[in-house]
């Protein structure tokens, strides 16, 4: 049975969907005022692995990821660039989808934009006003956190630290501050032409109300899983709970899943330190997106991940090993049908699933997988793997890949150019005549063309450099 660490209870719990066979999953998505950085993608990949494993286990998943296309940052950036806010956000939404594809992150079923759900947000604010937990002030409509007895249950924040009557208008604020937060911000000159004329006033939504309104619209008032980085626990997710549960009288979410921070070379990622990277930055440095994904999944999601370029090189080599293994399986045509192979197949499936059932322990799952690869490689080298078992293992690797998302399904036999085939034939003829000097010369010629020849029990095999 799958067990997940629930931030709400601070312990691992057996996951049971509200509805049999169906999971409602909400992921806090990007604020689209800039390109997403690798820390953001660690969070999205953690959510992606969870989603993929739920699907692996035969569950249906309805996945929603919001796009925050109006807030303080988007307004400020659009004004700085002197362009309409939609022009700015459309640009970065397009870039975000391109990045998702590059990292093999499955797209959500629904990507609701905040600006397209103002009606739902206004209705939610009206409910909160009607039950007297929200109030109007000179600059907006605020949520009175003292009136919600459950405030702090997710973050374990002590309500006693609240400054009486203190309010916060900004979308972001320090974690040590617990203040009444803005549900709706009345228009000011700083907002320019970004506003909506509504029953509750001319203005725009606060950040927190967006996720409550959109998640409940598409997943219902009570759903299974909400994911995000640990930086969102307080105040964002705490405020989502406060808004939603008071408005509906129901528990908002069963499982809160949060991933830890990403460091770069042991330090917090920061533009001032020069260690701030978007996916685009790394691709420009000619790093492979598959290796980047691999590095981002190798550390358990609840542990800090230290992103290093040495680690990225190691990830590249790990992907190369897996690719070579997949190709080798496809080339296997003859070999013994050893009984122990069946046991190895059964064991790796059990180990892989046991690791992921334990709060998505992908580190342990990958360790078991590479032990399995090493053992099967030994069997192939000794001609101890039948074509039938090679096919079974290949299909099992593809099934594991449906969770890992490492692109192993794209690894196919190399299409060898006719020129290279001719050189290989000439080399084999030279070897048969024991003209090894000529054979070595041809091998070097083939290498210059971008290919390497390996001599195996099944004959010469070729792969790209």
Q: What is the pLDDT of residue 455?
A: 79
- Residue 287 lies inside a defined structural domain of this protein: no
Question: Of the residues 365, 389, 410, which one is the last residue of a structural domain?
Answer: 410
Tell me the HSE value of 35 on the side-chain side, using a 13 A CA sphere.
Answer: 12
CATH code for the domain of 406: 1.20.120
Residue 108, exposed/middle/buried by CB under 10 A (0-12, 13-18, 19+)? buried
- Residue 289 lies inside a defined structural domain of this protein: no
Instruction: Of 121-125, 284-288, 361-365, 445-449, give the lowest mean pLDDT range.
Output: 445-449
Both 201 and 103 in one domain: the answer is yes
Both 227 and 345 in one domain: the answer is no
Across the range 349-371, mean pLDDT stands at: 98
First to last CA, the chain: 43
For residue 172, CA distances in Å to 26, 54, 338, 370 come to: 21, 32, 61, 43
- Residue 303 lies inside a defined structural domain of this protein: no
Q: What is the pLDDT of residue 450?
A: 81
Q: Partners of 225 in the beta sheet?
A: 25, 255
For 88, the 3-state DSSP assignment is helix
- Residue 276 lies inside a defined structural domain of this protein: no
For 454, the 3-state DSSP assignment is strand
Distance CA 30, CA 358 (A): 28
Q: What is the pLDDT of residue 173?
A: 47
Edge-first strand listing for the sheet containing 262-264: 267-268, 262-264, 305-307
Both 114 and 181 in one domain: the answer is yes
Both 124 and 226 in one domain: the answer is yes
Both 393 and 426 in one domain: the answer is no
Across the range 289-318, mean pLDDT stands at: 97
Quick check: 48 pLDDT over 90? yes
Q: What is the pLDDT of residue 461?
A: 74
- pLDDT tens, position by position, 9-26: 999 999 999 999 999 999
For residue 45, CA distances in Å to 95, 138, 200, 211 come to: 17, 42, 38, 20
Both 341 and 357 in one domain: the answer is yes
The residue that leads in pLDDT, 339 or 290, is 290
- pLDDT tens, position by position, 231-289: 999 999 999 999 999 999 999 999 999 999 999 999 999 999 999 999 999 999 999 99
Q: Answer yes or no: are the C-beta atoms of 362 and 355 closer than 8 Å.
A: yes
Give Cα 218 to chain centroid, integer Å.
21
Edge-first strand listing for the sheet containing 22-27: 60-65, 22-27, 223-229, 253-259
Question: Of the residues 252, 268, 284, which one is the last residue of a structural domain?
Answer: 268
Both 217 and 330 in one domain: the answer is no
- pLDDT tens, position by position, 110-152: 999 999 999 999 999 999 999 999 999 999 999 999 999 999 9
Q: What is the pLDDT of residue 176?
A: 46
Q: What is the pLDDT of residue 159?
A: 63
For residue 204, CA distances in Å to 76, 116, 410 come to: 14, 12, 45
Quick check: 336 pLDDT over 80? no
Quick check: 169 pLDDT over 80? no
- Residue 257 lies inside a defined structural domain of this protein: yes
Both 391 and 449 in one domain: the answer is no
Torsion sign over Cα 237, 12, 301, 410: negative
Q: What is the pLDDT of residue 164?
A: 46
Residue 30, exposed/middle/buried by CB under 10 A (0-12, 13-18, 19+)? buried
Quick check: 93 pLDDT over 90? yes
Q: What is the pLDDT of residue 459?
A: 72
Quick check: 230 pLDDT over 70? yes
Both 61 and 92 in one domain: the answer is yes
Both 80 and 169 in one domain: the answer is yes
Residue 326, exposed/middle/buried by CB under 10 A (0-12, 13-18, 19+)? buried
- pLDDT tens, position by position, 175-186: 445 789 999 999
- Furthest-apart CA pair in the chain: how many Å? 94
For residue 389, CA distances in Å to 328, 336, 372, 380 come to: 13, 10, 14, 11
Distance CA 152, CA 142 (A): 17
Both 37 and 86 in one domain: the answer is yes
Across the range 5-12, mean pLDDT stands at: 98
Read off the pLDDT band of 458 (50, 70, 90). low
- Residue 291 lies inside a defined structural domain of this protein: no
For 204, the 3-state DSSP assignment is strand
CATH code for the domain of 89: 3.40.50.620
pTM of the model: 0.89
- Residue 30 lies inside a defined structural domain of this protein: yes
Question: Of the residues 210, 237, 268, which one is the last residue of a structural domain?
Answer: 268
Read off the pLDDT band of 371 (50, 70, 90). very high
Q: Which domain holds residue 438?
A: 418-464
* Count of structural domains, the chain: 3
Quick check: 397 pLDDT over 70? yes
- Residue 282 lies inside a defined structural domain of this protein: no
Both 403 and 436 in one domain: the answer is no
Q: What is the pLDDT of residue 160?
A: 58
Distance CA 221, CA 244 (A): 8
């Amino acid at each position: 049975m799958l067990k997940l660490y629930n931030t709400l209870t601070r312990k691992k719990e057996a996951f049971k969907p509200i509805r049999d066979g169906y999971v409602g999953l909400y992921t806090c998505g990007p604020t689209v005022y800039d390109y997403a950085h690798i820390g953001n993608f660690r969070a999205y990949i953690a959510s992606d692995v969870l989603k993929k494993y739920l699907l692996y286990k035969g569950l249906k998943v309805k996945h929603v990821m919001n796009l925050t296309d109006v807030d303080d940052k988007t307004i400020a950036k659009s004004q700085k660039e002197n362009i309409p806010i939609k022009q700015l956000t459309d640009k970065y939404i397009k870039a975000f989808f391109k990045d998702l594809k590059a990292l093999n992150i499955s797209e959500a079923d629904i990507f609701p934009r905040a600006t397209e759900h103002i009606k739902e947000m206004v209705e939610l604010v009206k409910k909160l006003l009607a039950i007297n937990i929200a109030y109007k002030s000179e600059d907006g409509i605020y949520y009175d956190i003292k009136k919600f007895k459950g405030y702090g249950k997710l973050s374990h924040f002590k309500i006693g630290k609240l400054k009486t009557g203190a309010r916060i208008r900004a979308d972001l604020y320090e974690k040590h501050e617990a203040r009444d937060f803005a549900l709706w911000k009345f228009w000011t000159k700083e907002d320019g032409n970004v506003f909506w004329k509504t029953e509750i006033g001319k203005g725009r939504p606060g950040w927190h109300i967006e996720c409550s309104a959109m998640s409940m619209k598409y997943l219902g008032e009570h759903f299974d899983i909400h994911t995000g980085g640990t930086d969102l626990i307080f105040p964002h997710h705490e405020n989502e709970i406060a808004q939603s549960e008071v408005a509906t009288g129901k528990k908002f979410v069963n499982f809160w899943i949060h991933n830890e921070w990403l460091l770069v070379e042991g330090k917090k990622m920061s533009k001032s330190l020069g260690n701030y990277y978007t996916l685009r930055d790394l691709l420009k440095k000619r790093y492979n997106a598959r290796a980047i994904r691999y590095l981002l999944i190798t550390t358990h999601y609840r542990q800090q991940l230290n992103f290093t370029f040495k680690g990225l090189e190691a990830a590249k080599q790990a992907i190369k090993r897996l690719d070579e293994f997949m190709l080798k399986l496809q080339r296997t045509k003859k070999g013994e049908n050893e009984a122990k192979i069946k046991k190895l197949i059964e064991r790796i499936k059990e180990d892989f699933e046991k690791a992921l059932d334990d709060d998505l322990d992908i580190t342990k799952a990958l360790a078991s997988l590479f032990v399995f690869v090493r053992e099967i490689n030994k069997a192939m080298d000794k001609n101890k793997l039948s074509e039938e078992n090679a096919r079974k293992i290949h299909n099992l690797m593809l099934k594991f890949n449906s969770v890992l998302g490492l692109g192993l399904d794209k690894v196919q036999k190399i299409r060898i150019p006719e020129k290279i085939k001719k050189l290989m034939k000439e080399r084999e003829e030279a070897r048969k005549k024991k003209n090894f000097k000529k054979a070595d010369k041809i091998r070097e010629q083939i290498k210059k063309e971008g290919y390497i020849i390996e001599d195996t029990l099944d004959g010469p095999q070729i792969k790209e450099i």
